[in-house]
A and B are shown apart, each in its own frame.
Chain A
Amino acid sequence: NAGVTQTPKFRVLKTGQSMTLLCAQDMNHEYMYWYRQDPGMGLRLIHYSVGEGTTAKGEVPDGYNVSRLKKQNFLLGLESAAPSQTSVYFCASNRGGPYGYTFGSGTRLTVV
């Protein structure tokens, strides 16, 4: 099993450009999450989903949108990228309970 796959792994954007980060899981997990990691701040939750067709805001949702049209995919969109969105983005999925978390390998995004 591939687990959680994030696409792309690296990306450089210009301010104002848009892009979509894809997270795909093959474990039939209900829960999916998008986090961002900035130096000295740990991981912070952007948006999450508790099932197909559902999304909810996390701690730092501004500037991002998400969609979960299919159970296995969770998309994170940046409509108009800003330098403050330069970060490493992690997707995670969970089947429910404490031992079911799986993290992707991360996407390093730089906005110039």
Chain B
Amino acid sequence: AQKITQTQPGMFVQEKEAVTLDCTYDTSDPSYGLFWYKQPSSGEMIFLIYQGSYDQQNATEGRYSLNFQKARKSANLVISASQLGDSAMYFCAMREENDKLSFGAGTTVTVRA
């Protein structure tokens, strides 16, 4: 069964605007963690942000923020003030036992000048 669902295959955003990438997850474990990774066209996986299931506040890292709604099992990524360099594939992932990661299918973001 799909544990991480990203329903947006691709998105376009105007430079300097904000964009929200959706992620929903499925787990019965009370202790879990959610990540967002960026994969540019060069292929490397770049860590962006992490949210633990017991964290009281939404995580933020610079222009990235994670909108964590535990009851709805969603962990949406918000990128503020988009830049051309933000054009990439973005993956939501969930941390499971033995620190394994379960990834969603990804969302391609294209930033327009």
Q: Which residues of A contact B (CB under 8 A)?
A: 31, 33, 35, 40-45, 48, 50, 56, 58-59, 88, 90, 92, 94, 96-99, 101, 103, 105-106
Contact = CB atoms under 8 A, between A and B. Distances in A.
Nearest to B92: A42
A43 B103 contact: yes
Contacts of A94: 99
B35 A103 contact: no
A96 B45 contact: no
A98 B43 contact: no
Contacts of B6: 42
A105 B46 CA distance: 10
Contacts of B104: 42
Nearest to B47: A101
Using C-beta atoms within 8 Å of the partner chain, give the interface range for chain B: 20 to 34
A101 B4 CA distance: 19
B60 interface: no
Contacts of B25: none
A96 B43 CA distance: 24
B102 interface: yes
Interface in B91-110: 91, 93, 95, 98-106
B81 to A, nearest CB: 25
A33 B103 CA distance: 13
B52 A33 contact: no
A48 B98 contact: yes
Contact of B91 (A43, A59, A88, A101): A43
Q: Name which of B44, B45, B47, B103 has the most chain A CB atoms within 10 A of its CB.
A: B45
Given A41-B105, A43-B101, A105-B43, 12 more contacts: A40-B105, A40-B106, A42-B4, A42-B103, A42-B104, A43-B93, A50-B98, A56-B98, A98-B35, A98-B52, A99-B50, A101-B47
